[in-house]
Amino acid sequence: MQADYVIVGAGSAGCAMAYRLSEAGKSVLVIEHGGTDAGPLIQMPAALSYPMNMSLYDWGYKSVPEPHLGGRELVCPRGKVIGGSSSINGMVYVRGHAGDYDHWAESGATGWGYADVLPYFKRMEHWHGGENSDGFRGTDGPLHITRGPRSNPLHAAFVKAGEQAGYPVTDDYNGRQQEGFGAMEMTVWKGQRWSAANAYLKPALKRENCDLVRGLARRVVIEGGRAVGVEIERGGKVQVIRANAEVVLAASSLNSPKLLMLSGIGPAAHLAEHGIDVVADRPGVGQNLQDHLEVYMQYASKQPITLYKYWNLIGKGLIGAQWLFTKTGLGASNQFESAAFIRSRAGIDYPDIQYHFLPIAVRYDGQAAAEGHGFQAHVGPMRARSRGEVTLASADPKAAPKIFFNYMSEEQDWIDFRACLRLTREIFEQDAMKPFVKHEIQPGAALQTDDELDGFIREHAESAYHPCGTCKMGRADDPGAVVDPECRVIGVEGLRVADSSIFPRITNGNLNGPSIMTGEKAADHLLGRRLPSANDEPWFHPGWQAAQR
């Protein structure tokens, strides 16, 4: 049981690395605790609320009680299955804004600016969104990206309302111009969820030099300051899988820091509390935890045109049957088919609010609104100031990590969130929505003051399931950094981390795309090569300093 590269985690980044490293002729072993991704609950896009709530596919993590959200414990699903969270997520594809990556580079992640990451986004994409006129998109990569049919009239009305409110419309928020209203993109191909497993891992496993090992990673084995393998448990037995070249952790922003700490890499005092010998004192391990919080702004519909008409056993059965036999129909879409990215106020140079629009009023756990026909926009601030941490609850590798997001601990986060709610109301008051809006279900028009809106946020804000940042990438002399810009763990030889945990700051939008890009780029770092930087100029609102729109 040995290979050149041992990768822990068959998720978004791990699958991409396995594909690129094995393509380059290296031998690769991928360790994954979860099982198969076969079956309609994962592969059918419209069934997305099921796998996320099933212990078979999800690690089942929860935050500790969050003091600024009334002591609520928020669920934090992470994929425990082939494909990782890309097999249980909402399939929304967002690269992030150019400004995100330039901020990474400025904060010490040299070589990760927009010009550096754009070639990797292009390499990974097989885009089916239309004319690639400005050359910002990739058209022959492994990851298929499509758009929904947008046949429900509510999708066009939402975009039109944004335009009437004075916001730009964008043809492609993943291209030159993120800011504005337009079509949402998804990792769906031929009616099926196009996870990292389908795009990368399954083709890689067809090669003789790539294999998958089922087991629970317990710790990284370090000898003389160098990572030489990974200790795993499978079938009740503990064994070591040896890495001839390097070990790469791609186990998620919750499990990668946990594994580092179990291996003796992390804040020395915290490791000592759990009786773990210190290999490298890295105070940043598990710190800098970030996420996106959102609320569902829900409206009752005047017209019975929403997906609610299928929200019954017969309706769901018909959708499921059509999908099973033809991979078409409503089952072939995640239903998030319209989107928007806007700025909350003047003086912010690129969007800090994201919208997912959905033509039904329903929660992520599959509970429909009591009012019947309705629709909703998921909205929340993209760059919260609050920071949390992932720490060890126990030295037992089977124990869940202790996850404390510390949501809404900064006053600015409340100011930004209130702005989201008020700007959203204004959009839904436009003429384009008049034929459809009956009344506001949630928060409800009665809630107007800062205190009333804060109460709603405290009670109803949910995670968008985008945890990241816990093994921050930065300069080798930055005490808060865990990996350097080559993804190498500072202070240990032969060990890298490559997943959303290395993000210095959370990106603008959903994290699946940036996580896959991280795996693509990290593979090149491992192979000692890089794609030439791009010189495409992204769009920033020319009046951003003085105007909000």
**Annotated binding site for FAD, which residues?**
81, 89-92
Exposed (0-12), middle (13-18) or buried (19+): which is 461, by Cβ within 10 Å?
Answer: buried
Task: Determine which one of 33, 68, 292, 466 is catalytic.
Answer: 466
In angstroms, the CA 394 to CA 262 distance is 9
The two beta strands, 374-381 and 353-358, are: antiparallel
Exposed (0-12), middle (13-18) or buried (19+): which is 70, by Cβ within 10 Å?
Answer: exposed
3-class DSSP assignment, residue 99: helix
Q: Is 33 a catalytic residue?
A: no
3-class DSSP assignment, residue 425: helix
> Which alpha helices (DSSP H) does 63-164 contain, by range?
98-106, 114-124, 153-164
In angstroms, the CA 31 to CA 487 distance is 19
Q: In sequence order, what are the residues at sequence separation of 6 or more whose Cβ sits closer than 8 angstroms to the Cβ of residue 237? A: none
- Name the amino acid, one letter, at 468: C
In angstroms, the CA 536 to CA 268 distance is 44
3-class DSSP assignment, residue 546: coil
Region at 148 (left for phi over 0; alpha for psi -120 to 50; beta for the rest): beta
| Backbone phi and psi for residue 446, each to the nearest 5 degrees, phi listed first | -70, -25
In angstroms, the CA 284 to CA 266 distance is 7
CA distances from 205 to 19, 27, 212, 221, 532 (A): 8, 11, 7, 25, 28
- The helix (H) or strand (E) run that includes residue 168 is none
- Give the torsion sign (CA, 177, 180, 182, 183): positive
- Give the torsion sign (CA, 95, 96, 97, 103): negative
Catalytic residues: 466
